[in-house]
A and B are shown apart, each in its own frame.
Chain A
Amino acid sequence: MNLRKLVCPYDTSLIRSFSRREIAVRVDSPLLVRDAADVVRALGNNLICVILDSTKPLDAAPLQNEWKGVPLALVTASVGKFREVVKKLPLLRELNIRVCLPASNENIRDVRILSSAGVPSTIMINGPEVDWDALSDLMTYSLFGRIPHAPIGPFDYIVHHYDSAPHLCWGAAFFEDPQQFFHIDNKRNVALSREELLAEKFIGCIDEVEKAGSREIENMTDAWKRVFTEKSTCATCAGFKLCLGIITPKNGQAKRCSAFFSEMLEALEDLRLMREKALAEQKTWRL
């Protein structure tokens, strides 16, 4: 059976009820980061990361030295003032941190700067309201930029997991993939996404779900097929293989997201071929 990774709140009794599970623990206060990491590890689980939902922009986030050694996803709305962020760069580079930002125009710009400054980040694409051209530039920078830069999600996730045959659910870069992640509440109820967790749309208790399986998981996994029976423009999109209809464009916007995903697929194929070529070249001995 495929044991899912768990995304759960920082609740000691809840975490104690799991053993040898991979857990991403969610906290809403910087003061809890270190404690949450220690608790997950101390109770015999494998810590994926601590997810800190910050109400402050990155420039105002109270980064702490004691976070060193804690894999941290800092979810925030914006970067803030760079003149403040610059002061924190030495510490940011020492932390095992990934700054997760929604895909606003400012954030797309700022993520590039963060990346070139050596700070890993992730742009959370969750809707069609994105400047696709800017995102395309960011993707190109992420995948092909020659100067050293920190990884940018979800592009680094996609390029790492891309295979030309099956479909790829890159929502996992933000813990959104029912094949990989369960979102758990304090009462051990399972939701298949962060959104469904907040809406308390549960599919059952984790013990039952893992024992008996769930029709909802199958439905969600097969959700991409719905576009073929509905009259959706996504079904005929050249970028569908990557988008899988997750981004539902509004009228007149389909071409823009389609161009982005098509371009990314081309980039991924190019990278795959480059990797294959590099592997082939490794077969030749060298000094």
Chain B
Amino acid sequence: MATVIFKPTEACNARCVYCDVVHNEYAIRQNMSYELLELFFQRINEYLLERPEEDMVVTWHGGEPLLLGPAYFDKALEFQQKHCEKTAHKISHQIQSNLTLFKSEFTPVFKKLRITNFGTSYDPFSNLRGIGESVDSVLYKKKFIEGTSRAEKDGFAWGMIYVVTKLSLKRPLEIFWHLVNLNPWGSVMFNPVYIRDKKLSHLQITPEEFADFLGAIFPSWWKNRRRLPTVQPFIGLEESIVMGSPSLLCSDAGVCTRTHFGLDPSGRLYQCGRSMDWGILDYGSITEKKFSDVLEDPQRVKLRDRSPQLAETECQECRFWDLCHGGCPLDAWRTTGSLMRRSGMCDAKKIFIEKYFEPIVNGMNRGIIVRVTTSDSLRSEPAKPRTKAFHAKQNGPMWINPTGGIAEALILSGVLKHVMEKFPTRKFNVVTRTECDPLLTGHPAIAHIGHPPPGAAFMSIDHRYEPDYGVSGQHADRAYQTLARMFSLETPIAENLWVPFTVEADPVLAGFLPLKSQNVLICPSSDFHGKQMSTQRWEELVGLFSDRDTFIAQTGKYSDSHVRGTYSLLGLLNPKELISLLPLFDAVITVDNFTAHAAHLCDLPAVVLWGPTDHRIYGYRGQRHFQAAPSCQRADGCIGMGRGSDCLTPCTLGSGHCLDSLSLKDISYAVKDILKSKRGTVRRLSKKNSGINQAV
């Protein structure tokens, strides 16, 4: 599809400060004549007859095209009907206008030209856009709002471009919300300002500044994107990167030499609208040249070598090549003096993706990373492997929402310790959770535990969403390893649980507990009923190894059933206190719960009973695992994503529950075995927690 940027006038009612047209001393002050307008449609028809497979987009541009008045558009329609009888259905019209002059008088002819939407520009705060020589921005805003309202009432959609200048950098979110609150029926697009006039260099922004501007907005957009208008470049990147359906603008597609050209009021043909404004890449007059000649102009043909050259040179190592193709050649010319170089604004895209887009998108849609797969790659050799980028350098630390229970908080703490060792400057904020806070408070990788502000950037740590999480055949991808990869740590990694405090026996507890020569702690408790063994079975188990020399205590929640024959600590200990209690014991018997992880943290021998969950994912080497075979008919098991409602109900099989099928004798043998080879309580009492656990 060919696109012609059609400027029948370069006059404008506005005097936007950074506009290349209105301040151009060589701008053409006269509108395109009707003769040239008629020739324009003849050329379109000629082109479409020559290339029957093609369509043509006519983008009315300026200046301000509405200054032409409805009669001019009537004339254009007349010429189209006259000269494009067989090709009119292949012509589509678009219009770029500031809309301040829009009136319903335009509506009939626009409808006949099948114009359905307006592209426009707006700036709510700075006084850079304004009407007349005085650049009256107040009047501009008023007229703009009136124009868009009128356009909506007449059934037109409209979208807008916001030009990011130095003045925009202080209030990105205010600008963003202002623009989307206008509720345009089309898209909102953020473009960096391109300044050629040195007098305006104070408005110029760097690629880093543009990336940071977008980055300040992106979390809010991402979070609310389903209810917001389309916002570029975010939606384009989401479509290209996340959805794998590339959606590139003319500046990024790398094919503008095949698709775009421009026509000015005097009939001169150019590469595009921007080249027209800047007076370069002039391809001659419409009176002499057919459009097909323009598309095969030697300058354009030469420019087509740009993409393959960049792919082999400057952009060879760039994993974002297929997202920008070196950027706009005109912008490259502006900054480097060469059309064949890459655009400096490529850096903005790269910085934005790496610094803002990937950390958020990767954090929320696990497993999605930048894999560039556009069909239009001009690279002549296979692309270099793309590395998984995930090193957030936000303005503030990224927020972590500690999903799961306190056991997951313990794993998180261990993984964050690794992160801290590898990336010492990297910090995170953590959403406060009553249960988890005591385990994470004071962690050196955590800057703050609390409530995230609106629009905060989040990283999900729900490893269960990871595609490689779980057991597949003989391979088990353990929770700790999966979580470590989510933080860009290389795996396998030592599974060292860690807490930001010293683990030592609580002297108060040690003083009042009637400890004996052998001490066993049991913990039958789990929030998930399917992970529990029946109280009756626990009582039978306790009976199998209970003797006068063995003290058996039970820990868990206040609401748990008491296992007779044990000393009840139910409801008395918070997680931190439980950890402090463990060094007093010689062995732990537990189901898959926090106590199993805490025992690993404290290097305490443990017998762990597993039912619907798999010890290969959550269990630790060195612990003695008893895994029940599934006894139910539920092919998808009773625990996992989307089955949260099962958590609160007991297993429907009653006495046939998988965990109740475990051999109590075998478990008691394992306990006795541990007690026989009892390791000294005294040794553990003085042991500090400093990465004490064995590696996987």
Contacts and interface: CB of A to CB of B under 8 A. Distances in A.
A273 interface: yes
B145 interface: yes
B141 A228 contact: yes
Interface string B220-231: 100010110000
Interface in A77-114: none
Contacts of A222: 149
Q: How large is the interface on A (under 10, 10 to 19, 20 to 34, 35 or more residues)?
A: 20 to 34
Interface string A260-277: 001001101100110000
Interface in A229-265: 229, 235-238, 240-241, 259, 262, 265
B149 A237 contact: no
Interface in B137-184: 138, 141-142, 145, 149, 173-175, 177-178, 181-183
Nearest to A272: B226
A229 B145 contact: yes
B691 interface: no
B145 A241 contact: no
Contact of B177 (A229, A236, A265, A273): A236
A259 B149 CA distance: 28
B140 to A, nearest CB: 10
B507 interface: no
Nearest to B229: A165
Contact of B178 (A164, A235, A262, A269): A235
Contacts of A167: 183
Q: Interface majority SS on B: helix, strand, loop or mixed?
A: helix
Contact of B124 (A235, A237, A268): A235
Contacts of B178: 228, 235-236
A229 B142 contact: yes
B455 interface: yes
Interface in B224-244: 224, 226-227
B454 interface: yes
Given A164-B227, A167-B183, A240 B177 contact: yes
Contacts of A237: 177, 181
B224 A235 contact: no
Q: Which of B181, B182, B183, B454 has the most CB of A within 10 A?
A: B181
B510 to A, nearest CB: 44
B254 to A, nearest CB: 33
Interface string A27-52: 00000000000000000000000000
A161 interface: no
B124 A262 contact: no
A74 to B, nearest CB: 34
A164 B226 contact: yes
B152 to A, nearest CB: 10
Contact of A236 (B138, B174, B224, B226): B174
Given A228-B124, A259-B454, A238 B177 contact: yes
Q: Interface majority SS on A: helix, strand, loop or mixed?
A: helix
Contacts of B181: 228, 235-237, 240-241
A241 B227 CA distance: 9
A255 to B, nearest CB: 9
A56 interface: no
A20 interface: no
A159 to B, nearest CB: 14
A265 B182 contact: no
Contacts of A148: none
Given A229-B145, A235-B181, A236-B173, A273 B227 contact: no
Contacts of B138: 229
Interface in B285-314: none
A238 B142 contact: no
Contacts of A235: 124, 177-178, 181
Nearest to A268: B227
22 contacts: A166-B183, A222-B149, A228-B145, A228-B181, A229-B138, A229-B142, A235-B124, A236-B177, A237-B177, A237-B181, A238-B177, A238-B224, A240-B177, A240-B181, A241-B181, A241-B183, A259-B454, A265-B224, A265-B227, A266-B224, A269-B226, A272-B226
Interface of B: 124, 138, 141-142, 145, 149, 173-175, 177-178, 181-183, 220, 224, 226-227, 454-455
Given A229-B141, A269-B227, 7 more contacts: A225-B182, A228-B145, A228-B181, A235-B177, A235-B178, A237-B177, A241-B183
